[in-house]
């Protein structure tokens, strides 16, 4: 196990290196992946992690109850900092979700065969991150039980949402993202659900387990997998329609993420605040989201490989490719920051230059320096080939990038809002304990949903991995979906 986090041996020829370990076959891949959920290999470790996640969810529940009693003022928001850690956290979560979704969709559209080991965790991460993000616009309303007033629906009160409000577009973003993201996640998992169904039925044996303790639960599990698989038989027609639907939804995912992230930049530009009107900001927001999404995928890939002992399926080549993605995205983000800095310094107004100065020497200058130290600098370690294939290096850099991109959202929102155009509107802001507790609760929700997925559903794509196995490897006869 310790070898997973050590520097790898000298590089093999990357183009000729197998995506899955030598010796893996169609049969072994199906057995390993379905066995994770059917046999529950992680045992007590899963329960410990799930208990910790539920504790954080409980903290969020207590924080939310106090917020409903006292109001959103407990977060420390003030005038002019009406958007603070709550909106920074929302932007961070939706950025992770957007980045994961668009990367998985693009890799599918370009037929990248190495995506098979990572696409399932990437798509799941996107969905649960969007669920965590969706809590903030609701709680930020102040009266969250009326959240449906943000949606344009026919009603007897003739209410209609204020389309100029960011809250309305946050609601549209979350609903659209969950609808398309869940469809992409579920449709892509259909063949694997059929494999889980076949494996669960196989475990029942010829005579079933009706008379054996817990046998009823095993029968129920097989039935649930069968219903979720929607009658998948693996026929040529099924494969054709599945492939077409999967790719069409992937295209919608790309369009959704591009419109969501660039739309956020347009909403910022609709205000009079300095520093939010650079024409490069839509591109910067889009690639920043992809950057944070890939960083979180890298973290989850390393942890998943270590905990589930998936070294034959998640190989050093996957680490190398993820590291190169992080390096390329880091360079793009570095260019965006440099271009914004240069534009403001050379052609910006006095207000723009003052805002830029406060980012680096103001009361919250730590956020700007954290972006540089955590997000922009560490990725350059991946110029070294050996570090690109190191699980430990990928884990550390992924965590640093995630932290740096959170600091970026804090910098863009809080530093800009705190000092308004009038000195009388300048009011100090500091991070509040209740804000931190709410954010910790969303992390707990993210982990709890992710752990439930890992326990009961295929953690990696069986179909995708089988497509990576070299031709001529022995394969199981039949439909190709059985475990």
Assess if residue 477 is contained within a domain.
Answer: no
Please tell me the pTM assigned to this model: 0.89
| CA–CA separation, 411 and 414 (whole Å) | 6
DSSP string, 64-125: HHHHHHH-GGGGT--SS--S-HHHHHHHHHHHHHHHHHHHHHHHHHTT-GGGGGTHHHHHHH
Q: Count Cα neighbours of 321 within 13 Å in the Cβ-side half-sphere.
A: 20
Contact 246, 104 (CB under 8 A): no
Mean pLDDT value across residues 452-478: 71
The Cα 64–Cα 142 span in angstroms is 11
269 near 281, Cβ under 8 Å? Answer: yes
Q: What is the average pLDDT across 420-449?
A: 88
Asked if the structure places residue 473 within a domain, the reply is no
For residue 56, tell me if it sits in a domain.
yes
Buried b (16+ CB within 10 A) or exposed e, 289-303: bbbbbbbbbbbbbbe
Domain around 126: 2-468
Domain count, the chain: 1
Total Cβ atoms within 10 A of residue 431: 16
Give a yes or no: residue 476 inside a domain: no
Is 474 inside a domain boundary? no
Average pLDDT, the chain: 84
How far apart are the C-alpha atoms of 445 and 449, rounded to whole Å? 6
Q: Which of 115-124, 269-278, 317-326, 472-481 is least confident?
A: 472-481
- Mean per-residue pLDDT for 412-425? 83
| Rounded-to-integer distance, Cα 27 and Cα 19, Å | 17
How far is residue 201's CA from residue 209's CA, in Å, rounded to a whole number?
Answer: 10
DSSP 246-310: HHHHHHHHHHHHHHHHHHHHHHHHTS--TTS--TTHHHHHHHHHHHHHHHHHHHHHHHHHHHHT-
pLDDT exceeds 50 at position 207: no
Q: Residue range 348-354: average pLDDT? A: 88
Report helix, strand or coil for 475.
coil
168 lies in some domain: yes
> Would you say residue 331 has pLDDT above 50?
yes
- Report the pLDDT value the prediction gives residue 215, as an integer from 0 to 100: 58
Would 482 be classed as within a structural domain?
A: no
pLDDT (0 to 100) of residue 474: 53
Query: Does residue 315 form part of some domain?
Result: yes
**Mean of the pLDDT values across residues 293-312?**
89
Question: Cα–Cα distance between 135 and 447 in angstroms, integer?
Answer: 15
Query: Higher-confidence residue: 172 or 400?
Result: 400
User: Could you tell me where the DSSP H helices lie in 119-235?
Assistant: 119-139, 166-204, 215-228
């Amino acid at each position: 196990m310790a070898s997973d986090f050590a520097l790898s041996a000298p590089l093999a020829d990357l183009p000729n290196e197998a995506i899955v370990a030598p010796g893996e076959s169609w049969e072994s891949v199906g057995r390993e992946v379905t066995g994770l959920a059917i046999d529950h290999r992680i045992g007590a470790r899963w329960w410990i992690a799930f208990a910790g996640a539920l504790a954080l969810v409980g903290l969020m529940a207590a924080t939310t109850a106090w917020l409903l009693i006292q109001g959103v003022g407990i977060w420390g928001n003030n005038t002019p900092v009406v958007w603070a850690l709550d909106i920074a956290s929302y932007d961070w979560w939706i950025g992770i979700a957007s980045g994961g979704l668009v990367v998985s969709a693009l890799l599918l559209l370009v037929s990248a065969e190495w995506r098979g080991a990572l696409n399932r965790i990437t798509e799941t991460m996107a969905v649960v991150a969007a669920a965590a993000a969706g809590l903030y616009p609701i709680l930020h309303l102040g009266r969250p039980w009326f959240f449906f007033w943000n949606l344009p629906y026919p009603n007897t009160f003739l209410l209609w949402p204020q389309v100029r409000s960011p809250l309305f577009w946050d609601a549209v973003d979350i609903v659209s993202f969950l609808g398309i993201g869940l469809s992409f996640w579920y449709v892509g998992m259909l063949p694997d659900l059929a494999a889980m169904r076949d494996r669960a039925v196989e475990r029942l044996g010829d005579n079933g387990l009706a008379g054996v303790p817990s046998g009823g639960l095993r029968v129920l599990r097989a039935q649930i997998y069968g219903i979720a698989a929607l009658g998948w038989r693996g026929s040529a027609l099924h494969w054709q329609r599945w492939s077409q639907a999967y790719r069409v939804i992937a295209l919608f995912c790309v369009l959704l993420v591009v419109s969501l992230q660039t739309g956020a930049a347009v909403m910022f530009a609709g205000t009079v605040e300095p520093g939010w009107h650079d024409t490069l900001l839509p591109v910067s927001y889009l690639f920043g989201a992809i950057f944070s999404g890939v960083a979180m995928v890298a973290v989850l890939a390393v942890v998943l490989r270590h905990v589930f002992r998936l070294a034959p399926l998640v190989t050093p080549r996957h680490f190398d490719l993820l590291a190169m993605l992080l390096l390329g995205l880091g360079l793009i983000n570095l260019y965006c920051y440099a271009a914004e800095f240069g534009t403001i310094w050379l052609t910006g107004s006095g207000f723009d230059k003052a805002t830029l100065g406060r980012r680096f020497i103001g009361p919250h200058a730590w956020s700007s320096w954290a972006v540089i130290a955590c997000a922009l600098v560490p990725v350059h370690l991946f110029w070294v080939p050996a570090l690109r294939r190191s699980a430990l290096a990928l884990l550390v850099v992924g965590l640093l990038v995630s932290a740096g991109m959170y600091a970026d959202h804090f910098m863009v929102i809080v530093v800009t809002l705190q000092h308004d155009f009038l000195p009388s509107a300048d009011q100090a802001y500091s991070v509040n304990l209740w804000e931190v507790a709410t954010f910790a609760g969303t992390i707990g929700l993210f982990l709890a949903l992710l752990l439930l997925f890992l326990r009961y559903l295929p953690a990696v794509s069986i179909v995708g991995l089988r497509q990576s196995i070299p031709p001529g490897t022995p394969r199981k006869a039949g439909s190709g979906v059985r475990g």
